[in-house]
Structure 1
Amino acid sequence: MPASLSFSVASPGGPRAARVVHERRGAGRPLVLLHGIGHHWQAWEPVLDILAADRDVIAVDLPGFGASDALPDGIPYDLEGVIPVLGALFEALGVTRPDVAGNSLGGLLALELGRVGLVRSVTALSPARFWTEAERRYAFGVLSMMRAGARALPPPAVAWLARGAAGRAALTGAIYARPARRSPDAVVAETRALREAVGFDATLAAGSSGLFTHDIPDVPVTIAWGTRDRLMPRRQGVRAKRVIPGARLVRLPGCGHVPMSDDPALVARVILDGSR
């Protein structure tokens, strides 16, 4: 069962309380999982038990997403604001330099955590900010349309659509290569998470400028990209490899932008290999 953890973070107005919901399973060396924009920790559900067979796995609802509270007043939803909050979360969880895996926004956060030395290893699945301006505008447009649809559709309509494979594809086909593999309940829950994500707009605005341009020479990095990623094409992985030349670049055949349910065994193996 997910747990709620409150802890103190620094803000321009002094210490503030943050509250983050997380799911923790297994035992061993800590492995923290970070989801993408508009999602929640349950995005990792298809791989959690596989990973937990070897690791102490902590899947986090990022601040402003899922069941976690918004960031405290005065803390922005950019890297400079979120990374110290994640550092404080690690301390509150009792983990020091965990391995971290992230998807999309979570992949970007994982890379930045590696750059500043807060983690032992990084696995980034389709991380953000390796796009061209045209690719960024396209991705942001798709995400904004998904958000608008999630907010416009009444919950009974979402539940009705989620019952059929075609409806699940309409709701989530932009991020999954195999949306029919998602259960109706999972699609309803993630549509609700997207609709209610209080950090969505500020996070999207924070990502509208800037690329990830830093090498990460002192931390093992794996970058993995689905061959059927419709949101952020896999050529962005080649750019990421140029920026971080020591990274291991892995193809995820048949996987979309959120690959965990498209091929759970493959994604789990990539994460475990990258964190060894």
Structure 2
Amino acid sequence: MDPTRATTVALVTSRAGLEYDDDLPLVTGALAAHGLTAEPVRWDAPGTAWERFGGAVVRSVWDYVERIDAFLSWADRTARVTRLWNPAPLIRWNSDKHYLRELARQGVPVVPTRFLAPGAPFDPRDLDGADGVVVKPAVSAGALDTARYERGAHAEAARHVRMLLERGRAAMVQPYLPRVAEGERALVLLDGVLSHAVRKEPLLTEPGVIDNDRMPHPGLAPYRPSGAEVRTALAALAALPRRTVARPPAPLFARVDLVLGATGEPLVLELELVEPNLFLTTDPGAPARFAEAVAARAAAPRRPHPRTAP
């Protein structure tokens, strides 16, 4: 075995990630302190020999939603030749927000969500709520093709839904929660343990507008989560299907985005396990904690892939 393989880790990114992911240089430096060489590599870079890496950390693959089938195939192929963190089954499960249904079935408090599949009929009058609704694709990142609609604007919301369905994309409809004005909370967990958290200002500030150029994380600031928020985030991780995780049971990284319900209860808006911004720049100790988690996995004996195990 090439001795450099065990000490070389791929930080899997995209064309945009190479340019805009502020976490990449922080992680590279922090991993060097553990004797690991980190190499940012686009997931779709032609001719990449993924087998030369001791592990591949899926990070800023921000364009995966545009080529979801190709990306999931890449994850499956890459997992056969090196260790993938987070693992391919977890990536597949989390790449479609239908996972919210599974979390809800496990008793995790999530934002109520209705899914609409291409070809399925719906009544536009159902696309309304006391404070309006939010419409988004079931496979999306960075609030792409997402908008909120005020109460009574069900016809406008229906047009948005039809636009998604006509493109062959499943749509999801959620009630707009007014207390999002108090900020969206994002809790970052490494190996299942809370590392740090941030608070973000509301994103969908203008009703009825799909703005794919909006800043995805406005007003970002460090945040100390409440006990209830931490418990909700941990409950979301505990509800992960067994088929999606291997030992150790917790994913390498997770970001749990929370909003407050009517009575102040934290609700899971999203559980991000594929390519979330981990906001490592907001906490001085976060890069070192992330690197420590990666280094521990890189040092662990590699188990054979199920397809090649004797």
User: In which range does the TM-score fall when normalised by the shorter chain?
Assistant: 0.3 to 0.5
Give the TM-score of the pair, scaled to structure 1: 0.39
Higher helix share: 1
Give the TM-score of the pair, scaled to structure 2: 0.36
